[in-house]
Amino acid sequence: MAWSDTWADILSGGSPRWKVDDINAKKIALDYIKQHHTTTTNDKGDQQKEETSAQPLRILCPLAGDDPFIHYAYSQGHEVTAIDIVPEALEVVRLQFGDASDWSVVDTNDCSSKEEKQWKHTSGKVTLYEGDILTKRSELLNSFDAIYDKDSFGALSLDMRSAYCKRLSEYIKPNGTVYIEVKYKENEWQRPNGPPYHVEKDDIMNEESFGSGSCFEYVKSLGEVYPLSIPNMKQTGHILRRVLKR
């Protein structure tokens, strides 16, 4: 089933798949991002040290669907950019902000893709790209402090992971934080099937994924980040950091 058909089914009352709309789950995700995002400062001895950042972050949400995280992060003072190919999903996102007149379509003549729409919130702090995540957008290069990936990596077919990770490596700043939620399937016979696919550290850091070109370092496994209602499946989290190529 194509993603547009999947969303049509979800929005018409069909199976929610692995959607999680609980705002507490979004708070957990944002807290982890803030805890692990650091900035480099100079102390009085002119020695560089890393400190947890307390400043508002610019966050990218790839393959966002209608995830309430977008509005929640915005409500907490952060700047958010989301990308999804399904117009109906992004329409739901806009409705989460209230007044539809607070959104406008931006002239994309200067953007990398001529076919997509770009929606801007009147606050100037939220942008929604209605297009393919793999499209290269020069205006997003080296732009984001953090990436929020809720099941996106684990939803892609294996042959798409390399291009997806490459694109994210271009968009995130050096030292930027990647927060990834994936599914851990307790029964081995379930693991080859997807989406969502069973994902562990080795899958994330595979040379065909985030391990390619040593662009990312693995920081931490977060274990189970919140409970799911799906039998024999856990929602697990991982933290990565963007590093300069050596």
The pLDDT tens digits along the chain (246 residues) read 465 666 666 566 656 566 788 999 999 999 999 999 975 444 555 544 455 556 899 999 999 999 999 999 999 999 999 999 999 999 999 999 998 889 999 876 545 555 789 999 999 999 999 999 999 999 999 999 999 999 999 999 999 999 999 999 999 999 999 999 999 999 999 999 989 999 999 999 999 999 987 799 999 999 999 999 889 999 999 999 999 765
Name every residue whose Cβ is closer than 8 Å to that of residue 61 and which is 6 or more positions away in sequence. 67, 69, 70, 80, 81, 82, 83, 147, 148, 150
pLDDT (0 to 100) of residue 10: 59
pLDDT (0 to 100) of residue 213: 76
Name every residue whose Cβ is closer than 8 Å to that of residue 197 and which is 6 or more positions away in sequence. 154, 155, 158, 182, 183, 191, 203
Cis peptide before 195, with omega less than 30 degrees from 0? yes
pLDDT (0 to 100) of residue 48: 43
Tell me the domain boundaries of the chain: 19-35+52-81+134-242
Cβ count within 10 A of residue 146: 25
What residue type is 195 in one-letter code? P
pLDDT (0 to 100) of residue 20: 84
pLDDT (0 to 100) of residue 1: 47
Q: Is the distance from CB of 222 to CB of 238 less than 8 angstroms?
A: yes
Phi, psi of 178 (to 5 degrees): -115, 120
Q: Which helix (H) or strand (E) holds 133?
A: none
3-state helix, strand, coil in the chain (%, to 5): 30, 30, 40
CA–CA dist 188, 185 (Å, integer): 7
pLDDT (0 to 100) of residue 55: 87
pLDDT (0 to 100) of residue 2: 60
Q: What's the CATH class of domain 19-35+52-81+134-242?
A: alpha beta
pLDDT (0 to 100) of residue 99: 85
Q: Which residues pair with 237 in a beta bridge?
A: 181, 223
Cβ count within 10 A of residue 5: 10
